[in-house]
Each structure stands twice: as structure tokens, then as C-alpha cells.
Structure 1
């Protein structure tokens, strides 16, 4: 166990070291912090919207996934692509047929630029109640464009 901890510490220290070098090479010690862009997403239900995963592709596009309250659909998957300049490329939402809770837990990009989102979805139960929880994985093609 001690060896594993030591290896993890070395890996994490290496990542931090690279980050610091990159940061120092990009700015001077007296430069003011620069924020390239900030985006906020308010889903159609004007409720809680929570991000759980983020990925950046080789072109600088930013992909964020999480759960978001729909207008009439309850909690849904919500995945957003932001372009390098901060503009919204597209928004994709998933709602299961039972209109119950949908929760994303992970997002990955493949080498071709396709987006994969996975999580859980609560199905319809007996007499309209909550059913079993299922795994739902969605593929969003790299050629996806707005609208969703």
C-alpha cells in the first residue's frame, strides 16, 4: 500500500509540476489573471443544473455533462459543447420515457471526436412510482450540430 501511495504521489506531483511550468511560461510574475470566457447554463426548467464531468478535445472545444431540470421532464442528462471562443456549439439533453431522474456520471471523447456520456436513469415503477435504476450510455456524433 505504501508503494502505491508513493507512485500516486509521484504521478500527481509530475502533473502539478508540468502545470506550473506551463503556467509560468505563459504569464509573467506581474501579469493580471486573464479569464478567456465564462459561460453559464440555465436549463429549461430554471432549476438546479449540475456539472459532473468535463473534457477538452485537441481543437480546444470544451464538453461538459451533468444533470439539469427540464421544463416538464424532471432531471435530465445535459451535455454541452463550448467552442474555443466560449460560444455554445450545441446542447444535448436526454430524458427517459418515464420522466424520472437521469444522472450523468462520466464523459469521454474518442480519437474521432465522438462524445460518450454515461450514467443512470430511473425507470417507471408500478402504479406510476419509481422503478429500477438502469445504466444509460449515449453517443453524440462528432458531426452533431445545433439544434439538439
Structure 2
């Protein structure tokens, strides 16, 4: 059995801390999608749910599972748990799409170099046929005019 699947081992503790460190601290282009106010409860519940999941695995599966699979499952549990803890639809959008622009972000207009950036004021999901988009409402600060753009999301 992988030691990372046993809640009483140093390996499991190190795995848990490494994953939380990655998603809570943010590095380079990665920002944490998890609001500060849910982090203590998110840690507690996701660790509990992970080890409950691990305890239900059959022995033959425990022998075959690798570190990548364990890490991916733990991250999946963290994100699912976070969706239950956040309070707003905007926070849920951030958790579902952590790499997309967020409310309050500034976006440059690539078509007009040197122009002041616009600020993201609102976001929503739009479906068109089989396609899903993140619609982003922006405000251009100098004249307070609003405009929108959208990003296609994976289906």
C-alpha cells in the first residue's frame, strides 16, 4: 500500500501540505482560487474526505495507484469541497475556472497598445449550442464605459 494513502504517515502529511501550499500560496501565474475565509475548513474537510476515500479502496487498487493519481484525486476533492464552502456564484466560477480572469482583475486591450487597462466588473457563463463561454463585463476607467468579451471554456 502507498504510504500517502495512510493518514498516519509522514508521507501523507507531506503530500497534503505540498498540495495545500501550491494552491493556497500561489506562484508565478497561478493564483489561489480559494478565499481565505474557507481555507481552515477546506483543509479539514478535504483531508477527512481524502482519507475516507482512500480507506475504501480495494487492496489491489492500493498496490497499483501511483503518486500522480493520489495527488490528482486529492486536488479533485479539494476543489469539490471548496464549491460547498464558498458563498457566491463568482467564487464558484473562480474555483471552476481558476486560470480565467476574475472580478477586479485588469485586462489590457491588445488591439490598442498603450491604452489603459479595463477592470473586470462581472462574469457569467453563457451557453451557445455545444459551446460554453465565460462572458466578462469590463469597465474602462477613464470614461467608465463598459464593454464585454468572452472566453471559450472546455466542455
What is the TM-score with the length of structure 1 in the denominator? Answer: 0.30
The structure where helix makes up a greater share of residues is 2
The structure where strand makes up a greater share of residues is 1
